[in-house]
Amino acid sequence: MVSLLKVVVLGGGSFGTALANMIAENGHDVVLWMRCDEAAKECSESHENPKYLPGFSLDPRIIFSANLEASLEDAGVVFFSVPSKAFRGLASETKEYISKGTRVISTAKGIEEKTFKLMSEVLEEELPQAQVGVMSGPNLAMEIVAKEITATVIASKNSQVCCDIQSLLSSRYFRVYANSDRFGVEIAGALKNIYAIAAGISAAMNMGQNTVSLLITRSLAEMSRFSASLGANPMTFLGLSGVGDLFVTCTSPLSRNFQVGLALGQGDTVAQAIEKVGHVAEGINTVRMIKGEAERLQVYMPIASALYETMFNGQPVEEGLKTMMLAEQNSDVEFTNK
């Protein structure tokens, strides 16, 4: 059934482009919508996205368009691959063009700043006629277009949505796993960006592998502790959308949030780090939001708190590390049977 549906990817950034390329390679009709008409024309002529994925030749079957209404006409599956700050606005724009029962899938890894809502919740509010899902995992766009073996997670309250997306995207190098814990999968994708910034700082300071191991492990504990307090299944964090995504984002220089942390560790301000990276790094706003929400919920998050002080209150990086090391020593593994 999925093979007969027209697929639309909204957002011509690195991941949206890689996603559209996979779909086209699998033989499906796909439109990659970009807000900028000039960029769409350039990509259509060159079959390359020089701004986000330079040097990679894209499947010639991809249709590039800046016309939102025309792009969404008769669409059966729509992927929203835009930053969280632009998400609600775009979802609202598409409302009159998306039919009842259309599968709409968020690939954004962020939280709406004013409401603390996840992107799937935004989709449900703006597009009540659609069937909503979330796609998340250790998915670096440049490795996907290079056809490196990769896997992701599709999560939805509707099991048929999961099956359809698995059928649509699976290939010899891309595997899609399903999960019914949509909230856990999505919040994990947003939270790991915080700790990627911390990992970038540690890399800039030439910290050893023992330290990196400590950072990733305790970051996972914070993520699962916070999310479980809001209703997520803590076991979700042992999967690709949890520890898998956390690991790749904390260890790869391809990660934008890691790059921000690297710049901060080298002495740049947050504004300078943003300018240096040049693309949206969701973790910056997520740090601010999670700090306030953790305090409201009284959830213990020493790494996130120390990172907030470093980024927004001028606390030296070394002082933040000391704060973490002197924090209360809890048990190593949480959520075990008692």
Residue 114: its H or E element: none
pLDDT tens-digit readout, 227-237: 999 999 999 99
Check: CB of residue 138 under 8 Å from CB of residue 122.
no
Can you tell me the distance from the alpha carbon of 57 to that of 324, in angstroms, rounded to the nearest whole number? Answer: 45
pLDDT in tens, 294-319: 999 999 999 999 999 999 998 887 77
Pick from 249, 238, 315: nearest CA to 281: 249
Give the residue-averaged pLDDT of 131-148.
97
Report the distance separating Cα 330 and Cα 66, nearest Å.
52
pLDDT at 139: 96
CATH number of 2-180: 3.40.50.720
> Can you read off the two tokens belonging to residue 59?
């499947």
Give the integer Cα–Cα distance in Å for 252 and 243: 14
> Going along the chain, which residue ranges are E strands?
6-10, 30-33, 63-65, 75-80, 103-106, 131-136, 150-156, 174-179
- Give dist(CA 177, CA 155) in Å, integer: 9
Catalytically active residues are 192
Copy the structure tokens of residue 302.
């020493």
pLDDT score, position 325: 60
Residue 223 is predicted with a pLDDT of: 95
pLDDT at residue number 84 = 93
- Give the CATH fold of the 183-325 domain: N-(1-d-carboxylethyl)-l-norvaline Dehydrogenase; domain 2 (1.10.1040)
More confident residue, 321 or 49: 49
**Is residue 131 a contact partner of residue 158, using CB atoms and an 8 Å limit?**
yes
Query: For residue 182, what pLDDT is reported?
Result: 97
Confidence (pTM): 0.92
In the chain, domain spans:
2-180, 183-325
- Per-residue pLDDT at 279 exceeds 90: no
Angstrom distance (rounded) from CA 237 to CA 217? 11
Beta strands in 35-187 (DSSP E): 63-65, 75-80, 103-106, 131-136, 150-156, 174-179
**Cα 83 from Cα 142, distance rounded (Å):** 18
Beta pairing class for 30-33 and 75-80: unpaired
Instruction: Report the Cα 58 to chain-centroid distance in Å.
Output: 22
Q: What is the pLDDT of residues 210-228, one digit of tens each?
A: 989 999 999 999 999 999 9
| Per-residue confidence (pLDDT) for residue 338, from 0 to 100 | 44
Res. 82: pLDDT tops 70: yes
